Amino acid sequence: MGATHLPSTEFDGTAVDDQLEADAEAAQGQPATEMVQLLGPDGKLGTDPVFTEYADRLDAGKLRGFYSDMAAIRRFDQEATALQRQGQLALWVPLTGQEAAQIGSGRASQPQDYIFPTYREHGVALTRNVDLAELLRQFRGVSNGGWNPKDTNFHLYTLVLAAQTPHAVGYAMGIQRDQQLAEARAAENPQVEGSQPAEPKAAVVVYFGDGASSEGDVHESMVFAASYNAPVVFFCQNNHWAISVPTAVQTRIPLSNRAKGYGFPGIRVDGNDVIAVHAVTEWALEHAREGKGPVLIEAFTYRVGAHTTADDPTKYRESSEEELWRAKDPLERLEKYLRTEGLAGDAFFEQVKADGNELAAYVRKTTHDLETPDIRTAFANTYVEAHPLVAEELAWFEEYSAGFAGEATEEEAGH
């Protein structure tokens, strides 16, 4: 892997970084931290022996699309933060700084792939055509989900850290089995072969953070994925902070190195470089769909803002660190590239801005309109099949509520 850049601020300073790399090198007998980067902060495109080929597949339209997606989701993020400040959302989990990691990876997936997010993957949701207003239901407190995952193959957010990682592996094992069943059926009826187009091969992408990487579920998932060669891509967004705890407390080696321990490839990619993230994820998904097994991608990025709207990052980190990362902004570097290469000009960027404002207005309006559900839907959805306890409690609730309805009419009647 021809990496040209080394990470600048993992943990707190190069001394520690060097020490870690030396340790890792000693432990593994090979270089620890190479990071795939194609588009640098200066907006110049470099080369990579493996991934340039993937970058070459991108035409001007796709690259402009990456930019407009990243700009749209950043604008959405600002709007949702504002909505939270206005009391319209109970909480918001901002993604600013992680747009390239999310748009690059999300755009690399195909419709037949299935995505398991954590709770910050609004950019990935955008690439899967999830209605962003629906995404806000959970944060407005009108749903614990908010969208039907079957519509977009984008699963519900998960708040218990890492709990979704084994689900992703199980789902991938299901894809694998479906494929085997289809092949067995085709072998039984060879005459049908060719007359029907085969289902496109699918894979799963599961997102989690550097903090979540410490949870036992990630370990168990990687063991299962490796044992069964499941078509799953583990996508870790190392945004450097788990609320107030730095990555150094979660790991002594680059997270991508952990994959070696499980026996599958691990790649560290510049998470602020949308072109590299897209290339690496496309490679990993192809690898998985072809039956070659799991891949771990560590997107090396930074959460520029607070963890959530309830958090105060000034208590645990220096603003200079944020500044350092702002200089690596994923949108700015793509804009530089598009402009210098003559792929986009003022008109394009103005249009993107206008579209962003339109999206914000839509989200603002639809958030106010999000309906509060009737608690009866919770009674209805606790179990699939009839349940006497639920029926009994619902009947009690109806009777109890009916009592108040009587009171209200009496009050209205002036009694």
Partner 1 sequence: MTTMTIAKAINEGLRATLSNNPKTLLMGEDIGPLGGVYRVTDGLIKEFGADRVVDTPLAESGIIGTAIGLALRGYLPVCEIQFDGFVFPGFNQITTQLAKMHARSNGNLTVPVVIRIPYGGGIGSIEHHSESPEALFAHTAGLRIITPSNPHDAYWMIQQAVDCQDPVIVFEPKRRYWLKGEVDTESSGLAEDPFKAHVIREGTDATVVVYGPLVPVALAAANAAAEDGRSVEVIDLRSISPIDFDTVTDSVKKTGRLIVAHEAPTFGGIGGEIAARISERAFHSLEAPVIRVGGFHMPYPVAKVEEDYLPDIDRILEALDRALAY
Ligand X SMILES: Cc1ncc(C[n+]2csc(CCOP(=O)(O)OP(=O)(O)O)c2C)c(N)n1
- Cα-Cα-Cα-Cα torsion 156, 157, 162, 164, nearest 10 degrees, comes to 0
Element (H, E) at 176: helix 164-188
> Going residue by residue from 147 to 186, which x/- string records binding to ligand X, judged by CB under 6 A?
------------xxx-------------------------
Which of ligand X, partner 1, none lies near 263, with the C-beta cut-off 5 to 8 A by kind? none
Q: Is 358 helix (H, G, I), strand (E, B) or coil?
A: helix
Given the structure tokens 């989200």, which residue do they identify?
363
> Going residue by residue from 274 to 303, which x/- string records binding to partner 1, judged by CB under 8 A?
------------------------------
Helices and strands in the chain, H and E counts = 17, 7
**Shortest Cβ 214–partner 1 spacing (Å):** 14
Query: How far apart are alpha carbons 97 and 303 in whole angstroms?
Result: 5
Which of partner 1, ligand X, none lies near 37, with the C-beta cut-off 5 to 8 A by kind? none
Query: How far apart are alpha carbons 221 and 369 in whole angstroms?
Result: 39
**Contact (Cβ atoms closer than 8 angstroms) between residue 259 and residue 221:** no
Residue type for position 365: K
Residue 237 near partner 1 by CB under 8 A: no
Residue type for position 11: F
Q: Which is nearer to partner 1, 349 or 379 (CB)?
A: 379
Residue 150 near partner 1 by CB under 8 A: yes
**Shortest Cβ 182–ligand X spacing (Å):** 36
Residue 169 near partner 1 by CB under 8 A: yes
**Shortest Cβ 242–ligand X spacing (Å):** 3
**Shortest Cβ 139–ligand X spacing (Å):** 14
Could you tell me which stretch among 65-73, 139-147, 272-280, 318-326 binds partner 1 (CB under 8 A)? 139-147
**Contact (Cβ atoms closer than 8 angstroms) between residue 238 and residue 184:** no
Query: How far apart are alpha carbons 213 and 118 in whole angstroms?
Result: 12
Which of partner 1, ligand X, none lies near 19, with the C-beta cut-off 5 to 8 A by kind? none
Q: Which of 248, 167, 161 is nearest to 213 (CA)?
A: 161
- Site for partner 1 (CB under 8 A): which residue of 171, 234, 264, 302? 171
Beta bridge partners of 209: 237
Q: Which is nearer to ligand X, 107 or 303 (CB)?
A: 303
Query: How far apart are alpha carbons 346 and 343 in whole angstroms?
Result: 11
**Shortest Cβ 219–partner 1 spacing (Å):** 8
**Contact (Cβ atoms closer than 8 angstroms) between residue 20 and residue 252:** yes
Question: Strands, E, within 155-216: which ranges?
Answer: 204-209
Core vs surface per residue 347-385: b (16+ CB within 10 A) or e: ebbeebeeebeebbeebbeebeebeeeeeeeebeeeeee
Residue 74 near ligand X by CB under 6 A: no
Could you tell me which stretch among 198-206, 240-248, 262-270, 382-390 binds ligand X (CB under 6 A)? 240-248
Q: How many CA atoms are closer than 13 Å to the CA of 304, on its beta-carbon side?
A: 19
What are the residues whose beta carbons fall under 8 Å from the beta carbon of 304, sequence distance 6 or more?
96, 97, 322, 325, 326
**Shortest Cβ 80–ligand X spacing (Å):** 16
Residue 180 near partner 1 by CB under 8 A: yes
- Count of residues binding partner 1 (CB under 8 A)? 45
Judged by CB under 6 A, the chain residues 283 through 322 that form the site for ligand X are 303, 307
Residue type for position 154: F
Residue 211 near ligand X by CB under 6 A: yes
Residue 122 near ligand X by CB under 6 A: no
Q: Which is nearer to ligand X, 67 or 241 (CB)?
A: 241
- Count of residues binding ligand X (CB under 6 A)? 15
Token pair in block for residue 269: 């990619």
Residue type for position 110: Q
**Shortest Cβ 149–partner 1 spacing (Å):** 7
Tell me which residues touch partner 1 (CB under 8 A): 143-145, 148-150, 155-156, 158, 160, 163, 165-175, 177-178, 180-181, 216-217, 220-221, 223-224, 227, 377-378, 380-385, 387-390
Tell me which residues touch ligand X (CB under 6 A): 120, 159-161, 209-212, 237, 239, 241-243, 303, 307
